[in-house]
């Protein structure tokens, strides 16, 4: 049972445009959501998070939106840069910020 | 944040043998975890490494196969025992530096079992 799903295996975007990565979850006990970025041969790097009591969190070019009723969150990157090309993982936790359930990942490619 | 050093970064092992992976953190942390990423799959939590006591394993993972030690607040090991090709994965250590803070990950250990 995949409790966190990223239905788009890949996304291709032009430099300067917006990248939107989506994530759905099924477990209503999740109350904290995170996005991680992963380059090849490296561990995941924390990007941005959001608590279930909020619907939006912004950090520079990155904004995460949470729709609890739809059990859906999205990551917006504006403007997208070629250095953003990586695998993006959505993750959720219910008890500990370190005990995470991950989605399958979305490969983002930003073309110059 | 925390700087995490994981060793080895990669290894090729014979089936039936065991490999111990080390995770060293540059500061004391409250929580340490071990994850596995099988080829083409997402990251899956194996267990929480508890300092001074037995690790807490997630469903589908057992101590006999993945024994874990955590002798202090900065160090943990994961052993992959009696390996088979199905154990070929990336194994990652992660830490939660303080209570209710985001987890940081090591660079991972890429294991290939032949």
User: With an 8 Å Cβ cutoff, are B107 and A42 in contact?
Assistant: yes
Q: To the nearest whole angstrom, how far is the Cα of B100 from the nearest Cα of chain A?
A: 6
Strand ranges in chain B using DSSP code E only, listed in sequence order: 4-7, 10-13, 19-25, 31-37, 43-49, 56-57, 68-72, 75-80, 89-96, 104-105, 109-113
Tokens encoding B83: 């390996």
Q: To the nearest whole angstrom, how far is the Cα of B2 from the nearest Cα of chain A?
A: 12
Tens digit of pLDDT for each residue in B100-110?
A: 678 899 999 99
Q: What is the pLDDT of residue B99?
A: 67
B86 — phi, psi (to 5°)?
A: -65, -15
Q: How far apart are CA A40 and CA A59, in angstroms?
A: 24
Q: Tell me the chain A residues in contact with residue B92 when contact means C-beta distances shorter than 8 Å.
A: 43-44
Tens digit of pLDDT for each residue in B31-83?
A: 899 999 999 899 999 999 988 889 999 999 999 999 999 999 999 999 999 99
User: With an 8 Å Cβ cutoff, are A46 and B101 in contact?
Assistant: no
Percentage of residues of chain B with pLDDT beyond 70: 98
């Amino acid at each position: 049972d995949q409790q966190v799903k990223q239905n788009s295996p890949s996304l291709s975007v032009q430099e300067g445009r917006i990248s939107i990565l989506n994530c759905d979850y099924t477990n209503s006990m999740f109350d904290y959501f995170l996005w991680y970025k992963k380059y090849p041969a490296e561990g995941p790097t924390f990007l941005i998070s959001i608590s279930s009591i909020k619907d939006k969190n912004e950090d520079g070019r990155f904004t995460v939106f949470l729709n609890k009723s739809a059990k859906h969150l999205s990551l917006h990157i504006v403007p997208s840069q070629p250095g953003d090309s990586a695998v993006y993982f959505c993750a959720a936790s219910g008890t500990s910020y370190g005990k995470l359930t991950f989605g399958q990942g979305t490969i983002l490619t930003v073309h110059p | 944040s925390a700087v995490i050093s994981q060793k080895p970064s990669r290894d090729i092992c014979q089936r039936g043998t065991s490999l111990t992976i080390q995770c060293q953190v540059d500061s004391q942390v409250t929580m340490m975890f071990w994850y596995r990423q099988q080829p083409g799959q997402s990251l899956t939590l194996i267990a929480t490494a508890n300092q001074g006591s037995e690790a807490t394993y997630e469903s589908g993972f057992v101590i006999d196969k993945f024994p874990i030690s955590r002798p202090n607040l900065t160090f943990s090991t994961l052993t992959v025992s009696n390996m088979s090709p199905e154990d070929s994965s990336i194994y990652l250590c992660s830490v939660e530096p303080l209570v209710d803070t985001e987890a940081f990950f090591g660079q991972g250990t890429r294991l290939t079992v032949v």
